[in-house]
Amino acid sequence: MAWQALDEFDFDASLAAAQGVNLVMFGQPHCGACRGWQAQLPLWLADQAVQLWYADVARAQALAHRFELFQLPAFALYRDGRFHAMWQSAFSAQAVRQALAEALAASPQEEP
């Protein structure tokens, strides 16, 4: 499972065309926590049908503003091309899987 890059110009079109479950991580290269999540999420979700996306908010500042991001990393969950929820989890494989299942079982939220 590999990360696909997003920027503010292809963000909406790419996610609108993406079927299934899509998890977007907003981060930046100098963020240690972001690097940890980037390394571990593909391993922790390898057996899940989840596409991972990465948006570098240092380069895509309009996305940081749009999603009102004040802390990194931040995650947005999409399902079948539509925003589903902002997502968060503790940093462990079990917590990630549980938080993802709970978020997907919940009703969709409005995009920030």
Residue 11 tokens read as 């963000």
Taking only the tens place, the pLDDT of each residue in 29-51 is 999 999 999 999 999 999 999 99
What is the pLDDT, as a whole number, of residue 112? 84
Is residue 1 predicted with pLDDT exceeding 80?
A: no
Least confident stretch, 1-5, 87-91, 99-103: 1-5
57 three-state secondary structure? coil
Cα separation of 67 and 11, whole Å? Answer: 12
- What pTM value is reported for the model? 0.94
In this structure, whether the domain defined by 3-105 belongs to CATH 3.40.30.10 is answered with yes
Percent of the chain scoring above 70 in pLDDT: 99
Query: H helices within the chain, ranges in order?
Result: 11-17, 32-44, 61-66, 93-105
Spans of all domains in the chain: 3-105
